[in-house]
């Protein structure tokens, strides 16, 4: 015989009955004419069936292995395809279709009541609001429970009734005849969309959905110390589900606006204070406002602090005021307020002022200036760049 049945099924000559059956099922799903849809699909499918019918029967296999003709035992005569597709012996064609299409087990009707989706909204905050916390109203465009039918979807207090098409099963089975037997496929019922029930008189407000779109306002409590990118999680404040199902969750993503005076670095605040050259040289005391001054009606700490400017202060000098930064979101306490001094050189001088400065230069032996080169590293200019939001 020219055909090697073992080679057709792709199994060794000592393959067990279980190996032969698995190889046959795998090939049958691959080359079935309804799946492959090629010109030689019928011939290939017939060939693997012939090989399977021979090798699955111990007597026929023994005759085949000894070089005999197993068809002399009756072969496929009057039996259709091997194993009686659609019959009781061997491999049932319905099982083949089930295997090819992921199984056709009854799924049953799906529920009209489902959980709603989660929702995300974004909320902008001022720096003081993020630092000290606040309760803010947030408007959310979402799905809410239908006020007319209370989620049932039916008008006038009605109830869903059993679908006459699928008789409440939620799915229908179609039977297609082929030369191999009956091919059965199951799909969601077109009459009820798989629910198993229909609503004869839908609610005019929600069209049977059990929910409607609406805007609502939620008061969101923002804890002290939040930053851009933080999210507030509000359970069960998202969209109400179809059929009046439970609501999803709401996430409020925060974004903090830039401040005109302060720059935030983690839990610390940074600010720049300009002082005249004479004040920097002689020393002075300056009063600066803290972030708490943005919330004068709340008891959030000192709205202003006094700083001593030592004589001879240079541009870029920084002092830290403990406990005047941002409250820590976790762990308690507050960061520092960093104050960087920027010494301003006068640009408009009258003749008397020029003469005074000229006299000062002579007394300090600075009439002729020899420049001093600043070594690389994080010095005055680096600190000033950081103070103004730049980069090294």
Q: What share of the chain is helix, strand, coil (3-state, %, to 5)?
A: 25, 25, 45
The answer to the question of whether 146 is labelled as a binding residue is yes
Strand order from edge to edge, sheet including 231-234: 119-125, 250-256, 231-234
The answer to the question of whether 227 is labelled as a binding residue is no
The answer to the question of whether 163 is labelled as a binding residue is yes
Dist CA 249 CA 217 (whole Å): 15
Rounded to 5°, the CA angle 352-354-360 comes to 105
Which tokens belong to 104?
């056709």
The answer to the question of whether 375 is labelled as a binding residue is no
The answer to the question of whether 147 is labelled as a binding residue is no
Give the C-alpha distances (Å, rounded to integers) separating 140 from 21, 60, 120, 181, 253: 59, 74, 9, 57, 13
The answer to the question of whether 158 is labelled as a binding residue is no
Closest CA to 10 of 62, 47, 39, 57: 47
Cβ-based neighbours of 212, under 8 Å, separated by 6 or more:
143, 144, 146, 147, 205, 206
Which tokens belong to 296?
């004068």
The answer to the question of whether 166 is labelled as a binding residue is yes
**Dmax over Cα atoms in the chain, in whole Å?**
131
The answer to the question of whether 333 is labelled as a binding residue is no
184 phi and psi angles, rounded to 5 deg:
-110, 130
Binding residues for Zn(2+): 146, 149, 163, 166, 189, 192, 203, 206
List, as residue ranges, the binding site. 146, 149, 163, 166, 189, 192, 203, 206
């Amino acid at each position: 015989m020219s055909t090697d049945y073992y080679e057709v099924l792709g199994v060794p000559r000592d393959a067990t009955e279980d190996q032969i059956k698995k190889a046959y099922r795998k090939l049958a799903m691959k080359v079935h004419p309804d799946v492959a849809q090629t010109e030689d699909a019928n011939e290939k499918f017939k060939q693997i069936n012939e090989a399977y019918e021979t090798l699955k029967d111990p007597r026929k296999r023994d005759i085949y292995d000894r070089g005999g003709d197993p068809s002399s035992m009756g072969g496929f005569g009057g039996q259709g395809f091997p194993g009686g597709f659609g019959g009781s012996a061997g491999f049932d064609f319905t099982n083949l279709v089930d295997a090819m299409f992921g199984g056709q087990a009854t799924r049953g009707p799906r529920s009209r009541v489902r959980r709603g989706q989660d929702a995300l909204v974004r909320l902008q905050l001022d720096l003081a609001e993020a630092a000290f916390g606040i309760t803010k109203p947030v408007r959310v465009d979402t799905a809410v429970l239908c006020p007319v039918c209370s989620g049932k979807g039916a008008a006038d207090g009605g109830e869903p009734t059993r679908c006459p098409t699928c008789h409440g099963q939620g799915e229908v089975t179609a039977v297609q005849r082929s030369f191999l037997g009956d091919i059965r496929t199951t799909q969601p019922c077109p009459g009820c969309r798989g629910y198993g029930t229909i609503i004869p008189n839908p609610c005019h407000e929600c069209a049977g959905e059990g929910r409607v779109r609406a805007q609502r306002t939620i008061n969101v409590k923002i804890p002290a110390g939040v930053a851009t990118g933080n999210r507030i999680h509000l359970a069960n404040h998202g969209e109400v589900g179809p059929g009046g199902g439970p609501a999803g969750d709401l996430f409020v993503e925060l974004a903090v606006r830039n401040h005109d005076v302060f720059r935030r670095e983690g839990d610390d605040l940074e600010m720049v204070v300009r002082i005249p050259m004479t004040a920097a040289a002689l020393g002075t005391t300056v009063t600066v406002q803290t972030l708490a001054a943005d919330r004068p009606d709340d008891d959030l700490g000192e709205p202003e602090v006094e700083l001593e400017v030592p004589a001879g202060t240079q541009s870029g000098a920084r002092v830290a005021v403990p406990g005047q930064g941002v409250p820590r979101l976790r762990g308690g306490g507050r960061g520092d307020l960093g104050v960087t001094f920027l010494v301003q050189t006068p640009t408009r001088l009258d003749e008397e002022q020029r003469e005074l400065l000229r006299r000062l230069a002579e007394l300090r032996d600075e009439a002729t200036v020899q420049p001093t080169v600043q070594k690389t590293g994080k010095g005055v200019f680096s600190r000033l760049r950081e103070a103004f939001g730049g980069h090294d």
